[in-house]
A and B are shown apart, each in its own frame.
Chain A
Amino acid sequence: MEISTKEYRVWIEGTKIHYEGTMRLSGTDAYAPILSLMNDVLQSKPDEITLDLTELEFLNSSGINLLAKFTIEVRKQPDISIRVNGSKAVPWQSKSLKNLQRLHPALELTIS
Chain B
Amino acid sequence: MQFGTPTLSNSADAKSIRIVISSDAIDLSWHHCGTTSDFISEFFSKACDSDIDANDAHHSINYLINEILENAIKFRYTDDIVITGSLEMNSFEICITNTVNSDTAERFQEVLSELLSRDPGELLLEKIEQNAMDMSSGGSGLGLLTLMNDYDARLGWAFDKVPEQSQVRLATVAALTLS
Contacts and interface: CB of A to CB of B under 8 A. Distances in A.
Size category of the binding interface on chain B? 20 to 34
B139 A65 contact: yes
Interface string A57-98: 010111011001100110000000000000001111001100
Size category of the binding interface on chain A? 20 to 34
Provide the main secondary structure of the chain A interface. Answer: helix
Contacts, number: 70
Provide the main secondary structure of the chain B interface. Answer: helix
A69 B150 contact: no
B131 A65 contact: yes
Interface in A11-30: 22, 24, 26-28
Contacts of A68: 128, 131-132
B104 interface: no
Contact of B55 (A62, A91, A96, A102): A91
Given A60-B63, A92-B59, A103-B125, 11 more contacts: A24-B70, A26-B74, A27-B138, A58-B59, A60-B70, A61-B139, A65-B128, A68-B131, A72-B129, A96-B150, A103-B128
